[in-house]
Chain A
């Protein structure tokens, strides 16, 4: 049986941990709100890009731009892995890294070289230990202050690699923000480019005469401007999603931890009371026993 003092200290310790996890939960929820509003503000931009590109891609025949060409040989691929900078958010980062490692294995067994660009410290720390992965670039401590220029420079690196035929495939791996409870890791193929499907736009197709669009300077040159931009847009979306997912995952993890602390405190309090009772009982037995001896 532990001593009364030990149990008391243990309860105090767990109580302090609970305070911390509670505070982290609240911080994460405040940050999540910020991240969600960023996604909200970015959405009109992204959806407009998608609709314009769909429109444009249907007008231009394939392979009129280096980014649209599918390379003949697939020798190397690049992964853009977006994770969070900090832990304590459940299995969120582990799931993304797991997905990335699986892809790395798949590609190396297919005889391809794997290069990686990591955004977020957790992914970088996991991938740089692998000898088969060449780290092109890594960005730590950026997830707190995301901006478009970061996405832009990441995308620029892979676009340059693709145009010089050093990279033949590009994948984006990130944590998609589906809901507060769900942040599944996603793998998105960026290059070779797959034209966005028109499914989302099909309902707005009848509106307005679409055939008489005027293009300036011309379709091909416009595509040359918009395609790289679209890759940046997708990369940025991956970053925003990951950041929102991270905070949601942390909120859930911290909520769990707080609840576990409450359970622990309850069972420890029970133990404390039992121990106290036991010691009182044994003291009473002593006193009664002593009195009996004198009377006898």
Chain B
């Protein structure tokens, strides 16, 4: 058992559970790559793209929300509030979310939670860029 397994888990389901050769995670302190036999690691993740490469040398992209990654015994577990494979991203919904977030940010009144709106905007932007890439 020296294969690296990638698991992406959200509250609603296990999005992904697959053997991979390498994975690159959007860590809070910068991107980091994980290969097999990596040392045990716990890292916070920020909104971004998780990349992984399979045995057949295919590269895949996954959108990940805030959360964290845990590497232990050749299992990379990514625990996030939401995650989507790049091919499953709903472009229309992301566009709508982007528009909504921008409108909220343009509103300067106090009742708008700006940090939340910014996070929403960022999620939408990352989703869009991933979907276009695909």
Contact = CB atoms under 8 A, between A and B. Distances in A.
Asked if A and B bind, the verdict is: yes
A214 B10 CA distance: 23
A225 interface: yes
A216 B81 contact: no
A145 to B, nearest CB: 12
B79 to A, nearest CB: 6
Contacts of A225: 28, 44, 66, 68
A32 B14 CA distance: 21
Nearest to A236: B11
A215 B12 CA distance: 27
A229 B68 CA distance: 10
A147 B13 CA distance: 12
A213 B42 contact: yes
A42 B10 CA distance: 8
A56 B41 CA distance: 11
Interface residues of B, number: 26
Given A41-B14, A48-B79, A148-B12, A214 B44 contact: no
A244 to B, nearest CB: 15
Contacts of A210: 40
A150 B10 CA distance: 15
Given A45-B10, A148-B12, A214 B79 contact: no
Most buried by B among A44, A207, A209, A222: A44
B126 interface: no
B9 to A, nearest CB: 5
Interface string B1-37: 0000000011111100000000000011100100000
A41 B41 contact: no
Interface stretch (B50-58, B70-78, B86-94, B101-109): B70-78
Contacts, number: 74
Contact of B44 (A41, A55, A222): A222
Nearest to B46: A225
A212 B77 CA distance: 17
Interface residues of A, number: 30
A236 to B, nearest CB: 6
A122 B99 CA distance: 37
B24 to A, nearest CB: 14
Contact of B11 (A213, A214, A233): A233
A217 B29 contact: yes
Contacts of B43: 215-217, 222
Given A44-B14, A45-B11, A236-B11, A52 B40 contact: no
Contacts of B82: 148
27 contacts: A38-B12, A41-B12, A41-B14, A42-B11, A44-B14, A45-B10, A48-B70, A48-B77, A49-B79, A52-B70, A148-B10, A148-B11, A148-B81, A207-B73, A214-B39, A216-B27, A216-B28, A216-B32, A216-B42, A216-B43, A217-B43, A217-B44, A222-B43, A225-B28, A226-B68, A233-B11, A236-B11
Interface of A: 38, 41-42, 44-45, 48-49, 52, 55-56, 147-148, 152, 207-210, 212-217, 221-222, 225-226, 229, 233, 236
